[in-house]
Structure 1
């Protein structure tokens, strides 16, 4: 199958990382894969490193004309649009062509797109996927797409990379200077207000044990450096001597292995890739119970859910884990099973290919 992915985002977050990984998985499975993206974006370099051919395209008229030439020459079976804004160049580029357009939606829309222009635009979409139940339902509620056109395909991770690793744990904890028996509690994500860094710090300051150590894994978000600096300063003030800020890390699986408890205080999450990575590492997790997180964690079975935006409840659930080593171990084992069985990258690949086949049928 010939697949052309389209994503002109210039950011580098979970969406962009997972799309690059999907393209590589498809190529490794024997499909012919190319990627249309902005030459200025990190995603272009990542695709190159993965051996996926790229076409330089922006979301403008020139980009649309270039994309149309590429589609005419390459004749892909599937044009997979990863960013709904890019339908504005992908749909006109595909008029009169045999390939089918598939849209993946990763971000909730608050705008209802049923005006004449969007009806025309979405008429060019054969099928779509939502990365969580919430996003699938949002797609149906806000676009002209019919329920039968929209599939649920959860994101997936490399569960061989994200796994319990005793050697990595010992090495990273030694690097952090953690004494035997010290509980390490952490979170991971871009330093953006919606990720809940302030909630984490407020929670950490009031926990029932003074012996815990805290690890914040993640760098500044694009165009939000001021917020990142403020989080770093607040962490140093509140948790003086008991916190490490790693910045952005490619080897985040190593830092996750240093932890004993993972907290996911995101205010609104379409899915929760960082949460799944932590679960695959075998960590007991506490998360706000809303949005895409509800597809991932079953409260009391493979993690604990706190009331959304309720720092006191987040703290109480974390204190529950601190006080009960047996509960931590049980939830950690169950979390690993959940990630491996339900959120592997191979499962994501299979779901995506089924969607392609349905679009081509």
Structure 2
């Protein structure tokens, strides 16, 4: 087992567990959560897959972490490694970001009823898990933690929440720039993992013919989708208008060179990137699906196009460009609200209520 902590001498109040090999919002949330707990004086260990993006980010942030190696979602090797970490760390709270490895977690916790298992949901799910086998595994969950009201409703429909389990919403936090950028130029940006359904292609098509410069920022784990984007840029002669940029360690710094956050994702659990854009005063445009209407109910000013309607999306882009001064003013009102609702202090405070 690879790692960066001496488990024989450390004890932990909380283990944050994220076993994903992807590089997206959930993975960054795991690092942020562990870092937030640690800075609040809560003894915390982040457990992640060996050599993963999560491990790299934890190393960069100086977050205590332990790497585990395994090949399948249900893995004896993973079960034994988790048991060793939990027993040696005298752990009382295990927060799992994800769902895929729940079977292994179930068996790792056999004989340890004192551990408070919290499953944290960050992605909209479509396949029901209310069959008898899944009910058995999910019966071990003490608390189902959702990062939006949209996901809470989704979990009720998809996940077998037992009567003894809690279910609630705690918004994830963001660490904002000390000073929001001064927005002066008409430029758009999209920040997110480059994958089908994340909205990069929709954004590209929406700015076609508008003259609005667009920067697409994010790492790619979908070669076919990335090729489609590049082909579309070439076919439409948009090489000077649309720029593709790989993952950035501090993407908020790119907001100093943007004014419009164009994020037509086909569905999100919450979206860290949108929160950061709102908290930095960017003019935000998204689709009217999943969690995005929730931001309006929270009091934010943003534009919502009809779901996957690129013509309507382009219409909103033109509207923003034509009313740029008014839109900048309205977007500036989002800054204080975002920094209040999605603060690290608020997230940690609310998390303390579900920890043992």
Q: TM-score, normalised by structure 1?
A: 0.87
- Is 1:19 the counterpart of 2:35? The answer is no
Counterpart selection for 1:202 from 195, 205, 208? 205
Tell me by how many angstroms 1:236 deviates.
4.1
Cα deviation code 1:180-200 (max 9, x no counterpart): x75212222122120112211
Q: 1:160: which partner in 2? A: 177
- Is 1:333 the counterpart of 2:326? The answer is no
After TM superposition, the structure 1 = structure 2 runs for residues 90-239 of structure 1, keeping only pairs within 5 Å, are 90-97=105-112, 98-146=114-162, 149-160=166-177, 163-166=179-182, 183-207=186-210, 210=211, 212-220=212-220, 222=221, 224-238=222-236, 239=238
SS of 2:197 mapped into structure 1: helix
Cα deviation code 1:279-298 (max 9, x no counterpart): 11111111112111122235
Asked if structure 1 preserves the Cα contact closer than 8 Å seen for 2:95 and 2:119, the reply is yes
Tell me by how many angstroms 1:57 deviates.
4.4
Distance 1:185 1:99, change over 3 A: same
Q: 2:57: which partner in 1? A: 46
More helix by share: 1
Distance 1:123 1:280, change over 3 A: same
Asked if structure 2 preserves the Cα contact closer than 8 Å seen for 1:280 and 1:340, the reply is yes
Quick one: distance in 2 between partners of 1:240 and 1:108?
Answer: 34
Q: 1:278: which partner in 2? A: 277
Q: 1:10: which partner in 2? A: 21
Tell me by how many angstroms 1:300 deviates.
9.0
Tell me by how many angstroms 1:340 deviates.
0.9
Quick one: distance in 1 between partners of 2:185 and 2:87?
Answer: 60
Quick one: distance in 2 between partners of 1:299 and 1:16?
Answer: 25
Quick one: distance in 2 between partners of 1:57 and 1:29?
Answer: 29
Tell me by how many angstroms 1:76 deviates.
0.7
| Unmatched 5+ stretches in structure 2 | 1-11
Asked if structure 2 preserves the Cα contact closer than 8 Å seen for 1:186 and 1:216, the reply is yes
Q: TM-score, normalised by structure 2?
A: 0.88
Asked if structure 1 preserves the Cα contact closer than 8 Å seen for 2:204 and 2:214, the reply is no
Tell me by how many angstroms 1:352 deviates.
2.1
Q: 1:177: which partner in 2? A: none
Q: 1:82: which partner in 2? A: 97
Quick one: distance in 2 between partners of 1:296 and 1:51?
Answer: 30
RMSD of Structure 2 on Structure 1 (CA): 2.1
Quick one: distance in 2 between partners of 1:125 and 1:19?
Answer: 18
Cα deviation code 1:3-54 (max 9, x no counterpart): 0122211111110011111101101111111122211312122223323131
Distance 1:125 1:299, change over 3 A: closer
Cα deviation code 1:240-261 (max 9, x no counterpart): 4223222221131121221121
Distance 1:128 1:215, change over 3 A: same
- Is 1:64 the counterpart of 2:79? The answer is yes
Asked if structure 2 preserves the Cα contact closer than 8 Å seen for 1:7 and 1:36, the reply is yes
| Unmatched 5+ stretches in structure 1 | 170-180
Asked if structure 1 preserves the Cα contact closer than 8 Å seen for 2:204 and 2:242, the reply is no
Asked if structure 1 preserves the Cα contact closer than 8 Å seen for 2:207 and 2:317, the reply is no
